[in-house]
Amino acid sequence: MLAGQLCRPWHVRETGVCCVTDAARIPRDSPANRGGHGVSTPNSSTEFDKKATDAIIFGWWKQYIGPRELAGVRALAARLNRADSIDALSEPAVHELMHRLDWQPTTGHVQALLRLARVLPTVREHTPQTSLAQRLGAGEPPAMSSLRFQSLLRADGDDLITALRRALLLADRCCNVAALGHDLVCWNAPGDRVRTRWCFEYFGAMAPTSVTETSSSEEETA
């Protein structure tokens, strides 16, 4: 049954996360299948659109993870919060995110997809004014100590997922979802630009332009 489920589009109704059995009623390229934002998804033949991708990721979170008052949403978020890679890739909602982003099953895209699917469900509130790094560095003492923050930045693989989940708990499960999604996609971009910018944000400083700009090719293959 799992293989059949993964081929069907999913969306949130008032009762929770539901399967749309008649896929013909909702075209794959319709705004409804992109989280209702009407944002064009990037593909291999067009320049990577950062704003569009951030909007797609935020729209997916808002639809599948954000409305915690729905039992189906709570159940999905709980599964993804404890999921390993195989568990996450067994969720139809995760494949829907990959479809909306128009990604291919390359190693880089799958790794980025797993970071998104396994970390974003820990976020319960979108705070557009503050990034995760800013929230971790706020307060006296800061929400996360500088030593633990350094450990987070040096983590990789499953250790990174665990560290980010714990960091979100320290940040009261709040941050700018679109910004976090973008950084999860670009986490391994050349030059450690995401990690470098996080260092500046943690200490409440503005990062230099050289680490806030990322080329389209770097983001797509991160």
- Angle (CA) 188 221 149, round 5°: 15
pLDDT of 27 > 60? The answer is: no
Q: Which amino acid would we find at residue 160?
A: L
Helix (H) or strand (E) holding 141: none
Domain with residue 78: its CATH number is 1.10.520.40
Amino acid at 28: R
Please write the tens of the pLDDT for every residue from 63-113: 999 999 999 999 999 999 999 999 999 999 999 999 999 999 999 999 999
The interaxial angle of helices 50-64 and 92-101, nearest 10 deg, is 160
**145-180 burial: b if 16+ Cβ within 10 Å, else e:** eeebbeebbeeeeeebbebbbebbebbeeebbbbbb
Q: Are 83 and 89 in contact (CB under 8 A)?
A: no
Type and span of the H or E element at 125: strand 125-126
The domain tally of the chain equals 1
Closest CA to 34 of 18, 50, 52: 52
Evaluate if residue 216 carries a pLDDT over 60: no
Asked whether the predicted pLDDT for residue 43 surpasses 70, the reply is: no
Average pLDDT, the chain: 80
Instruction: Give pLDDT, residue 121.
Output: 98
CA distance 87 to 102: 21
CB within 8 A of 45, min separation 6: which ones? none
pLDDT digits (tens, 9 = 90+) for 143-163: 999 999 999 999 999 999 999
pLDDT score recorded for residue 211: 63
Distance CA 75, CA 167 (A): 22
Range of the domain at 76: 2-221
